Amino acid sequence: MTTPTDPRFTRQRSVHEFLTARGWHLDGDSDPGEAWFANDPNAGWHYPASFGGERINEVSDTTPVPLQGYFTFGEEGEEVFTIVAAGNLRGSGCAEHDTRERFFPLTADGGVDLAPVAALLDTLESRARDLDARAVVECLYFGPCPGSAR
């Protein structure tokens, strides 16, 4: 158990409060106030309004992913906060429906600068709400959408 002065606790709770205030939900059974939260592969948040809030059955490697965020490790092994756009994973389909991780390095005091995260989410949340899950799956299986750059 962490203490309220632990920078991990402060960082994780601050991101949690920021995202849940925007309508995001916590994933898994982990508590952002636990030190091991960032090491839990199921810990993070998702934006339930993705795909117009439509419920999508889970099918491995097929189901489009909702807009999501979590703590992970960057290319140099440093801890970072990451946002993943809603859509198809692993470069499948067109650029419009593809997802990629956006990494936010931790600040000097070990926190997350939420201003650039908020600016990105202003765009990605709107896009996620408007995405049609059927179109994203068709893009995955039938190739790039008409008019895409890919």
Edge-to-edge order in the sheet of strand 79-84:
25-27, 44-46, 68-73, 79-84, 101-105
pLDDT higher for 21 or 137? 21
pLDDT value at position 93?
66
pLDDT in tens, 8-38: 888 899 999 999 999 999 998 888 888 778 7
The 8-class DSSP code of residue 53 comes to: G
pLDDT higher for 7 or 46? 46
Of the ranges 19-23, 40-44, 63-67, 133-137, the best mean pLDDT one: 19-23
Prediction pTM value: 0.86
Question: Where does the chain have alpha helices with state H?
Answer: 7-21, 114-130, 133-142
Label residue 110 left, alpha or beta by phi (over 0 means left) and psi (-120 to 50 means alpha): left
pLDDT in tens, 87-103: 887 666 677 777 888 99
Spatial separation of the C-alpha atoms in residues 85 and 136, rounded to whole Å: 13
Q: Please determine, for residue 2, whether its predicted confidence score (pLDDT) is greater than 70.
A: no
Q: Please determine, for residue 122, whether its predicted confidence score (pLDDT) is greater than 60.
A: yes
Of the ranges 34-38, 60-64, 135-139, the best mean pLDDT one: 135-139
